[in-house]
Amino acid sequence: MITVTTLRKMKEKGEKITMLTCYDASFAKVMNNVGVEILLIGDSLGMTIQGHTSTLPVTLEHMIYHTQNVAKGNQKALLVADLPFGAYEGSVESAFQNSVQLMKAGAHMVKLEGGLDQVEKTAYLSKRSIPVCAHLGLTPQSVNALGGYRVQGRDQAVADEMIEAAKAHEAAGASLIVLECIPKDLAKAITAQVNIPVIGIGAGVDCDGQVLVLQDMLGIYPDPPSFSHNFLAETNSVALAVKAYVDAVKTSQFPTEQHSFN
């Protein structure tokens, strides 16, 4: 069974970590069979499963349902469930109660989006035995405030704050960090300056691991982001496509320059 200790040891040894979004039991079994270490029950299901144009309509009940489904098909991977929009922006107590529901549904860790403004939540949850993954950079739940899906951290002040936020989340007890759509050099710097594993998506090859949205890496979601790659196009089956993704991440063949930002 993959645990937070397993992931820390992988970082220490320089072994790449693989992560994919997963929303049901069938795909959980496929990912287990090819060795994906982390399954992310992402609020990206609002777009890939429900057909919305953003993650904002996803509710806590939706996340609980899909977490339960993935848990039933999982045997070895670490399960990370997103706290959806509105589920943790209030008090630390409400964030805790909502996280408890995801953990009872089968999650091993919860993920929340936000920098320095969310460090208090990370500390509160971590002290109460709920492992936290902090999500920095492009945070899809804030897409309206960010002015769209754009690369974050190109401005030096923003980059410095992101480094500070990563360190603060680690100090507050975070077990994992996801960096989305940021310059590869910034992601490399953050990865080197924290002791917890850093998973990138559109953040270059130097992160400790990589994550993609399942439907993007299978080429079945329209207009996939530039940082993704269609692994199904090169194989004959979904299982082989997922295995190809795992192999490419493990050997640092993915992401390439074309999947990264300067």
Q: Which residues of 35-45 are buried (b: 16+ CB within 10 A; e: fewer)?
A: ebbbbbbbbbb
Contacts of 128 (CB under 8 A, 6+ apart): 96
**CA-based nearest residue to 139, from 96, 178, 183, 187:** 178
Measure the CA–CA gap between 36 and 30, rounded to whole angstroms. 9
- Is 82 marked as a binding-site residue? yes
How, if at all, do strands 17-21 and 78-82 pair? unpaired
**First vs last C-alpha separation in the chain:** 36
What is the chain's length?
262
Helix (H) or strand (E) holding 200: strand 198-201
Sign of CA dihedral 17, 18, 24, 26: negative
Phi-psi region of 223 (alpha: psi -120 to 50; beta: other; left: phi over 0): left
Measure the CA–CA gap between 95 and 124, rounded to whole angstroms. 9
180 part of the active site = yes
- Is 234 marked as a binding-site residue? no
- Is 44 marked as a binding-site residue? yes
- Give the DSSP letter of residue 49: T
- Is 11 marked as a binding-site residue? no
Catalytic hit among 89, 161, 170, 180: 180
- Is 111 marked as a binding-site residue? yes
- Give the DSSP letter of residue 133: E
Catalytic annotation, residues: 180
| Annotated binding residues for 3-methyl-2-oxobutanoate | 43-44, 82, 111
| Annotated binding residues for Mg(2+) | 43, 82, 113
| Annotated binding residues | 43-44, 82, 111, 113
